């Protein structure tokens, strides 16, 4: 009986030594992990343009100012349609009314204001996929000045309607770029690329082509350039065998 107990005790010592030895090896040689960042970029041309302009009237009589503004609206509407802009693309926003006053001073001290009249303004917006046509309209809109309309134009804004598809393509490119980098690192270290542990997407950036725009932590989204560059990063972690 004592002989059997001694054997069992001996086996226990051996097994404990094996487990402790394996634990030490694993602790001394932890799993090797490679972290890499890949970049995906793509140039594209905007296929949607949004352009806005504002026309203004002024009169000491509110009714007269409104009638002039309404007439100007008709002139603007007919002008845009004559340039081939579809009626469904033309959006007139609500009328804005502002009372204008001149400050009055006496002996350098402000003593009140004097009513001058009413300034009424209304903006018009065009959203279209016919980018070239609306660009031409935006350049020639000063022709309305010759028609008696006091019109000011804002710079066009450019967008892309297939942004979701573009983003997926960028993620694919960035992931592939990161994988290739990881493989090279693993090969140079004498190992072999193992399973993917994690993947994290970086910030999606859109900047004007050939511009010096800085990337933003929150993501840049350029709307002033028709031709743009999209980029995104992917950070991957691989196990190395």
219-232 pLDDT per residue, tens = 889 999 999 999 99
pLDDT at position 11 over 80: no
pLDDT at position 67 over 60: yes
Q: 151, 80 in Cβ contact below 8 A? A: no
Q: CB-based burial of residue 60 (10 Å sphere; 0-12 exposed, 13-18 middle, 19+ buried)?
A: exposed
pLDDT for 141 equals: 93
Question: What is the number of H-type helices and E-type strands within the chain?
Answer: 4, 10
Please give the CATH number for the structural domain made up of 30-45+162-240.
Answer: 3.30.110.170
- Give the residue, 26 or 72, on which the prediction is more confident: 72
pLDDT at position 154 over 70: yes
With a pLDDT cut of 90, the percent of the chain lying above it is: 68
Q: What is the mean pLDDT of residues 125-142?
A: 96
Q: What is the mean pLDDT of residues 188-202?
A: 90
For residue 110, the cross-strand partners are: 105
pLDDT at position 207 over 70: yes
What pLDDT band is residue 236 in, cutting at 50, 70 and 90?
Answer: very high
Which class would CATH give 48-158? alpha beta
pLDDT at position 23 over 80: no
Q: Where are the domains of the chain?
A: 30-45+162-240, 48-158
Question: In this structure, what token pair is assigned to residue 129?
Answer: 């996929």
pLDDT at position 80 over 50: yes
């Amino acid at each position: 009986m004592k002989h059997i107990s001694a054997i069992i005790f001996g086996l226990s010592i051996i097994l404990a030594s094996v487990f402790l030895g394996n634990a030490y090896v694993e602790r001394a040689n932890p799993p090797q992990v490679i972290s890499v960042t890949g970049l995906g970029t793509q140039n594209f041309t905007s296929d949607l343009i949004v352009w806005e302009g504002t026309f203004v009237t002024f009169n000491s009589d509110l009714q007269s100012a409104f009638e002039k503004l309404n007439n100007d609206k008709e002139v603007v509407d007919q002008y845009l349609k004559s340039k081939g802009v579809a009626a469904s693309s033309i959006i007139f926003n609500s009328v804005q009314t502002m009372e204008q006053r001149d400050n009055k001073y006496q002996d350098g001290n402000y003593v009140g204001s004097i009513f001058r009249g009413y300034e009424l303004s209304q903006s018009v917006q065009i959203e279209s996929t016919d980018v070239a046509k609306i660009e031409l309209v935006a350049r020639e809109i000063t022709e309305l000045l010759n028609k008696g309309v006091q019109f000011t134009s804002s710079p066009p804004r450019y967008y892309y309607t297939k942004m979701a598809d573009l983003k997926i393509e960028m993620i694919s490119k960035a992931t592939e770029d990161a994988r290739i980098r990881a493989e090279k690192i693993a090969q140079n270290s004498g190992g072999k690329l193992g399973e993917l542990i994690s993947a994290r997407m970086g910030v999606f950036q859109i900047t004007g082509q050939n511009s010096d725009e800085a990337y933003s932590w929150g993501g840049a989204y350029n709307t002033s350039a028709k031709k743009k560059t999209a980029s995104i990063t992917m950070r991957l972690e691989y196990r190395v065998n």
